[in-house]
A and B are shown apart, each in its own frame.
Chain A
Amino acid sequence: MLKYTLKRILLLIPTIIGISLFIFLAMEAASGDFVSTLITEEMTDEEVHALRASYGLDKPVLERYVDYMWNLLHGDLGTSYTSRMPVMELFMQKIGNTTMLAVASTIVCILISIPLGIFAARHRGSIFDNISNVLGVLGLSIPNFWLGLMLIVWFSVQRSWLPPGGNDDGILSVILPAITVGTGHTAILMRTTRSAMLDTLRQDYLRTARAKGVSERKVINVHALRNAMIPILSVALTQFAGCFGGAALTETVFGWPGVGKMVVDAVKQRDIPLACGTLIMKCIIISLIGLATDLLYVVVDPRVKTQFASAKRGKRNG
């Protein structure tokens, strides 16, 4: 299992090289670099050149890239052009907010979707099932950023119950962004739960359990749910990981100071080290969550554990 963990971590290396190269080349191709946003009309050519040199932007792109990677190898994510602060420091400032949003939306999502999904599966074909199916597709179809805007209209502008943006009001300010991110996730997780439960509910081992005298409540909540949990958990954790990569729009709509908004702004301002460093950190986080998901499988699904064990045994014998 240790070997598997190491392999997963090693796989990050080509990904990091790939995305950083992509950012450098794309920014090179983009019209205008960071310095062009600073230029004013009174500046002479020499001054502009000196300014460019002070950011190292006078060097060719490949040289800059190699420098960046060399520093990265030493654990240095570089310095942001815009704020002149180390990227790592900026990232650490914002990651807390992104994590808070991710955790809040995942909790909302799990609390709503799993009970509803189980209920829909148990009453398959009922009115409730049909309604929740329609709501599920609806939840999938609402564009996140528009939902965010509408929530602001309803709860902040028309009623002023909740703050329209920022993160100055503690738990209150996370509610609307969390609903915005969580709606699509809730819809997906509800559909996953429903189909996983439907799949489990027709398994023969539930009949065995009933024949033993296990009560219907325990048949569903212990025997069926433990099995259905395997795909549900996988989807929920993938979504959780996704919150670190894809909440940029929601963060923009609510002015939520997280890493998603930071990286979008960085690209717009051509702040290469900030964009690149933030992306790399996000990839590492997402990959670690993925690894945790895989390791969690070992706990939830005994079959996976045996696979690991037998792989080890096979190695030893062979």
Chain B
Amino acid sequence: MGENTVKKKNKNRTQGQEIWFRLRKNIGAMVGLTVVILLILTAVFADVLFDYDTDVIGYEISERKQAPSAEHPFGTDDMGRDLFARVLYGTRYSLSIGAAAVLIGILVGVPYGAACGYFGGKVDLYLMRFIDIIRAVPGLLMGIVIVSALGQSTFNLILAISIGQIVSIANITRASVLTVKNQEYVESARNIGLSEGRIILKHIIPNCLSPILVQVTLGVASAIVSASSLSFLGLGIPVPEPEWGALLSAGRGFIRQYSYMTLFPGLAIMITVLSLNLLGDGLRDALDPKLRK
């Protein structure tokens, strides 16, 4: 009954404005968005804020293992490095590793999943069986094996965690292509003689974008956790780079007396992942209001 009135109010907005309008009403999503923007700014201007050689990796043994104070808000590590500088600088690593892994996920996963969903039949069966085999190996272990096989470097770390991203993006793309493919507007596009290529480009992909966009947002969050997990196990970015997982791994040895060393890097991961998750949830609701009801 309220539908008429809702439509009337919103008739002057484009779809983009409509989504933004709905997103803006979601407090969680706006908090998430704000924090994500702040984190990106921190990552971009990290070297303006701190000098890499002196603040981030340069050590001062005389100031080692200092509890948080005004001078060192997060304290210092066992080498006397300021953890505040290291954690903030680490934003650059975590965000770019997460983004890069998801980018690979999109580049491989979207065509892969789209092919499965669109062609169906045997293609789908074999491609998906392959995905099933990958999924049989727990994600963390897959990462460990790949980093062991290829050697320890930032690029290999990204590659290792992108596997999981490829799998989840391919799955979500396949599912949404399958749904859209059978819609009547695709059928009618075919009936008026559009080529398959045009149908995929004009009708199928635009209608699959929302779930992929949501998955991408949540994917960056999960990639950041995966990266820090591997670093935590000592298989990620080599020391002394200030990656959050590596900081946690270093701090773990001093957990009995100096637990602040593990507190702050972990908080940084949690805040980043939390805001990405809030944003992803908000996007999901804003893009598909039907799911809310």
Q: Chain A interface (Cβ within 8 Å of chain B)?
A: 14-15, 18-19, 22-23, 25-27, 29-31, 133-134, 137-138, 140-146, 149-150, 152-153, 157, 202, 245-246, 248-249, 252, 260, 263-264, 267-268, 270, 275, 279, 282-283, 286
Q: Give every chain A residue within 8 A of B262 (Cβ-Cβ).
A: 146, 149-150, 153
Report whether over half of chain B's contact residues are helix, strand or loop; otherwise say mixed: helix
Determine whether B121 belongs to the interface, using a CB cutoff of 8 Å to chain A: no
CB proximity of A135 to chain B, nearest CB, Å: 11
CB pair A141–B270 under 8 Å, yes or no, is yes
Q: Which residues of B contact A252 (CB under 8 A)?
A: 233
Q: Which of B85-93, B187-195, B248-256 interfaces with chain A?
A: B248-256
A153:B145 contact, CB within 8 angstroms = no
- Report Cα–Cα, A18/B269, bound state, in Å: 34
- Docked-complex contact A246 and B140, CB < 8 angstroms: yes
- Contact (A18, B148) CB under 8 Å given A149-B248, A248-B141: no
Interface pair B28/A141, CB less than 8 Å apart: no
For the complex, give the distance between the alpha carbons of A142 and B272 in Å: 10
A249 to B124, CA, bound (A): 34
Complex CA–CA separation, A279 to B145 (angstroms): 12
Q: Tell whether, in the assembled complex, residue B248 and residue A141 are in contact, meaning their CB atoms are under 8 Å apart.
A: no
Contact A137 B278 (CB under 8 A): yes
Q: Which residues of A contact B151 (CB under 8 A)?
A: 31
Tell which of B59-67, B101-109, B131-139, B173-181 binds the partner: B131-139
Please tell me if the beta carbons of A153 and B269 are within 8 angstroms of each other in the complex.
Answer: no
Q: Does B263 contact A (CB under 8 A)?
A: yes
B99 CB within 8 Å of chain A:
no
State A134–B130 Cα separation when bound (angstroms): 37
- Is there an interface contact between A279 and B252, defined as CB atoms closer than 8 Å? no
A249→B141 contact, CB < 8 A: no
Contact between B270 and A18, CB atoms less than 8 A apart: no
Determine whether the beta carbon of B149 is less than 8 Å from that of A157.
no
Q: A138-B274, A267-B144, A282-B138 provided; 16 other pairs, C-beta below 8 A? A: A18-B136, A26-B148, A27-B149, A30-B149, A137-B278, A141-B274, A143-B228, A144-B229, A146-B265, A146-B270, A249-B140, A264-B144, A264-B233, A267-B145, A268-B144, A286-B136
A286–B148 Cα gap in the complex (Å)? 25
- CB-defined contacts of B149 to chain A, threshold 8 Å: 25-27, 29-30
B residues whose Cβ falls under 8 Å from a Cβ of A:
28, 129-130, 132-133, 136-141, 144-146, 148-151, 221, 225, 228-229, 232-233, 248, 252, 255-256, 259, 262-263, 265-266, 269-270, 273-274, 277-278, 281, 293
Partner of B136, one of A15, A26, A268: A15
Q: Evaluate contact between A19 and B28: CB separation under 8 angstroms.
A: no
Name B137's contact: one of A19, A143, A144, A157 (CB within 8 Å): A19
Nearest-CB distance from A33 to chain B (Å)?
11
Contact B145 A245 (CB under 8 A): no
> How far, in whole Å, are A143 and B145 apart by their CA atoms in the complex?
21
Give the complex CA separation of A281 and B273 in angstroms: 33
**Beta-carbon nearest neighbor of A191 in chain B:** B281
The answer to whether A19 touches B144 (Cβ under 8 A) is: no
C-alpha gap A139/B130 in the complex (Å): 32
Identity of the chain A residue whose Cβ is nearest the Cβ of B133 in the assembled complex = A18
Complex contacts, B229 vs chain A, CB 8 Å: 143-145, 249
Q: A134-B28, A279-B137 are in contact. Are A146 and B148 (CB under 8 A)?
A: no
- Across the A-B interface, give the 5 residue pairs with the lowest CB-CB distance, nearest first: A146-B266, A18-B133, A141-B274, A245-B138, A26-B149
CB of B266 within 8 A of CB of A267, answer no
Instruction: Indicate if the CB atoms of A145 and B248 lie closer than 8 Å.
Output: yes
B-chain residues with CB within 8 Å of residue A140 when the two chains form the complex = 277
Q: Which residues of A contact B145 (CB under 8 A)?
A: 22-23, 26-27, 267, 275
Residues in chain B near residue A19, CB distance under 8 A? 133, 136-137
CB <8 Å contact, B148 and A149: no
User: Chain B residues near A141 (CB, 8 Å)?
Assistant: 221, 270, 273-274, 277
Residues of B within 8 A of A137 (CB): 28, 274, 277-278, 281
Complex Cα spacing A143 to B151, Å: 25
